[in-house]
C-alpha cells in the first residue's frame, strides 16, 4: 500500500447518501480530508455500490488507493486499477455479515432438526419411547435417542443462492468452510475472479433449484422479484431440500410454500421474513414442525452508514500506514 508523507490525504466517498456520516466522522480521522465530491487532487477513494471504472479513474490522476465497502468488488474495474498501479483494499460491512450469519444459522439448525430436538428434550419425550434416564459415562450414552430422521451433515451438500450480492458472498465464504458446494443465480454473473474468491459457480435458476440441498433467497424485493419463488419453482426442488429466506417475505409465494411444506414436497424451511410481519398467529406456518421461524432478526444489532464507513476509514488508515 502507498505510504504517505504525513500530509492529509484527500479521500473521496463516492456513493450518495454518506454526507451525514462524513460530517460525523471527519474529526475522527485527522490524517484524511473527507469529501463527497471531487475536490483538488484526490488521493484515496471509498465506494460501496458506485461504479469505479476507467473513465472515473482518468478523472482522478492522483489516486493511489481505492477501497471497497463490502467484500464483493464487482463494481470496481480491477484491470483498470491494476493497469494504473492503484492499490486496492476492501472492508467487509457489518450489515451483510449479520444476515449471512443468520442464513448459516438456519441452515445448520435445519440440518440438526434443532428446534424439534430441543422440544423433545425439554418436554421429556423419552417417556413416550419407553426410555429411562441412566447415569452416563464416556462409553455409555443415549446416542440419538430421538431418532430424528432429518438430522444430517451439511458437508458435501449443495447450497444454491438466489442473488449474489454482499450477503450472499459472505454466506458463500462461510458455507465453503463447512465443505458445502456453492452455486448461485444472478442476472449478471460474477467475474471468474470473484467466483473464485467466493468459491461459487453460476447456474440458471431452474438448474439451481433442481440441484440444491439448500436454497437461500437473497435478492431485493422489487416488482421483478415479487413471488419469484412460487409453486413451479418449489416443484423443481428435491423432496429432501430446504428453503431459507432472509431477504423479504414477498419474494416467496407463501401459500405455495405452505402447501409444499404440508405435503412434504420439500423437507423444510428456515424463515426470517414473511408476507405480513409480525407473522399472524393464524398462519399455518406456526403449526408446522419442519419450519424454523424467526422474528426478522437478520440485521443483528443493526448498522448505519456511519458505522460501516468508520470501519472502511480505519482500514484505509491502516493500509496507508
- Catalytic, out of 211, 296, 306, 310: 296
Alpha-carbon 28 to chain mean position: 30
Query: What is the C-alpha to C-alpha distance for residues 19 and 34, in angstroms, rounded to an integer?
Result: 10
Task: Report the alpha-carbon distance of residue 197 to residue 67 in Å, rounded.
Answer: 17
- Rounded to whole angstroms, the maximal C-alpha distance in the chain is 80
- What is the rounded CA–CA span in Å between residue 253 and residue 140? 48
**Residue-wise DSSP of 17-63:** T-HHHHHHHGGG-TTEEEESS--SS--EEEESSS-B-HHHHHH-TT-
Would you call 310 a catalytic residue per the annotation? Answer: no
| Residue in the block written with cell 454482499 | 166
Is 248 one of the catalytic residues? yes
| Side-chain-side CA neighbours of residue 14 (13 Å) | 22
Assess contact for 10 and 294: CB atoms under 8 A: no
Q: Which of 250, 220, 210, 267 is nearest to 99 (CA)?
A: 220
Residue appearing with cell numbers 433449484: 209
- Is 277 noted as a catalytic residue in this protein? yes
Q: Which of 248, 254, 305, 308 is catalytic?
A: 248
* Phi and psi torsions of 258, nearest 5°: -60, -45
From the candidates 235, 255, 277, 314, which is the catalytic residue? 277
Three-state DSSP class for residue 201: strand
Dist. CA 27–CA 33, nearest whole Å: 9
8 A C-beta contact, residue 251 and residue 222? no
Residue 35: exposure state from Cβ atoms within 10 A (0-12, 13-18, ≥19): middle
Task: Kindly list the catalytic residues.
Answer: 248, 277, 296
Amino acid at each position: 500500500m502507498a505510504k504517505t508523507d504525513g500530509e492529509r490525504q484527500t479521500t473521496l466517498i463516492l456513493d450518495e447518501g454518506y454526507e451525514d456520516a462524513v460530517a460525523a466522522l471527519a474529526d475522527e480521522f485527522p490524517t484524511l480530508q473527507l469529501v463527497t465530491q471531487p475536490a483538488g487532487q484526490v488521493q484515496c477513494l471509498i465506494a460501496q455500490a458506485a461504479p469505479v471504472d476507467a473513465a472515473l479513474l482518468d478523472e482522478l490522476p492522483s489516486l493511489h488507493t481505492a477501497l471497497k465497502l463490502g467484500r464483493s468488488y464487482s463494481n470496481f474495474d480491477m484491470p483498470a486499477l491494476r493497469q494504473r498501479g492503484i492499490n486496492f483494499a476492501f472492508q467487509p460491512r457489518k450489515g451483510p455479515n449479520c444476515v449471512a450469519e443468520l442464513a448459516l444459522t438456519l441452515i445448520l439448525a435445519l440440518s440438526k432438526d434443532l428446534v424439534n430436538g430441543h422440544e423433545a428434550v425439554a418436554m421429556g419425550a423419552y417417556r413416550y419411547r419407553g426410555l429411562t434416564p441412566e447415569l452416563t459415562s464416556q462409553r455409555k450414552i443415549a446416542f440419538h435417542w430421538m431418532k430424528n430422521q432429518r438430522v444430517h451433515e451439511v458437508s458435501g451438500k449443495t447450497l444454491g443462492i438466489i442473488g449474489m450480492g454482499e450477503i450472499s458472498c459472505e454466506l458463500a465464504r462461510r458455507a465453503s468452510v463447512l465443505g458445502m458446494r456453492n452455486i448461485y443465480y444472478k442476472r449478471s454473473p460474477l467475474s471468474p475472479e470473484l467466483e473464485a474468491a467466493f468459491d461459487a459457480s453460476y447456474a440458471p435458476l431452474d438448474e439451481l433449484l433442481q440441484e440444491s440441498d439448500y436454497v437461500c433467497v437473497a435478492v431485493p424485493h422489487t416488482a421483478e422479484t415479487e413471488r419469484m419463488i412460487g409453486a413451479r419453482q418449489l416443484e423443481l426442488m428435491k423432496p429432501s431440500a430446504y428453503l431459507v429466506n432472509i431477504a423479504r417475505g414477498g419474494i416467496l409465494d407463501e401459500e405455495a410454500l405452505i402447501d409444499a411444506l404440508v405435503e412434504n414436497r420439500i423437507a423444510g424451511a428456515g424463515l426470517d421474513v414473511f408476507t405480513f410481519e409480525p407473522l399472524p398467529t393464524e398462519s399455518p406456518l406456526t403449526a408446522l414442525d419442519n419450519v424454523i421461524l424467526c422474528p426478522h432478526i437478520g440485521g443483528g444489532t443493526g448498522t448505519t452508514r456511519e458505522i460501516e464507513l468508520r470501519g472502511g476509514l480505519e482500514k484505509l488508515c491502516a493500509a496507508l500506514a
